[in-house]
Copies of this chain bind each other. A is one copy, B any other.
């Protein structure tokens, strides 16, 4: 009879909870002189591998526009928390990286408080909780045609120990470049989960 399946009330309740939880988290993020968007950008740059530290990748990760990201990055750069570096792969492109000051500030990341709340509240179910969130995020991303930004070494293009250069022991089959241990443990804009 109904044109589409009714959404279960418990799912709506969960959506409200996520919404309010995140609002709480954002309220705690005015510290350190940064606002929530700036924290998100700083965190991203610290977690992304060397192919993914561009304004365009960050904009996609944050589901926002390049214009907004450009201003956020300019603000962080002004504060000396990130540094700009012309790309050697692409003359149009710019890479950003956290500075020592940026990494020092991340040690006081307010998101750690939420992480502590999660650890305390979920106890032995923390893994389960993260897995459920992972699945929900994947569903939301699929609906928005968004990319996963998963860990490099879980990618279908990752070739472990396929070294053909001195720059790293591993290899990316998509970009055809060597990968260090560090980069392969970071998130990547091109990441596409291994089939199974």
- A112 interface residue per 8 A CB criterion: yes
- Shortest Cβ distance from A11 into B: residue: B119
Given contacts A16-B111, A121-B132, A126-B11, contact A146 B116 (CB under 8 A): no
Instruction: Give the Cβ gap from A36 to chain B, nearest Cβ, in Å.
Output: 9
> Is chain A's binding surface mostly helix, strand, loop or mixed?
helix
Stretch binding the partner chain, chosen from A77-85, A97-105, A137-145, A164-172: A137-145
List the number of copies, as a whole number. 2
Given contacts A10-B130, A112-B7, A128-B132, contact A118 B28 (CB under 8 A): no
Q: Say which residue of B112, B118, B141 sits within 8 Å of A14 (CB atoms).
A: B118
The number of chain A residues with a CB under 8 A from chain B is: 59
Interface 1/0s, chain A 11-40, versus B by CB < 8 A?
A: 111111111111111111000000000001
Q: Which A residues have a C-beta under 8 Å from some C-beta of B?
A: 7-8, 10-28, 40, 43, 47, 61-64, 111-122, 125-130, 132-141, 143-144, 146
- Please state if B63 and A134 are interface contacts (CB–CB under 8 Å): no
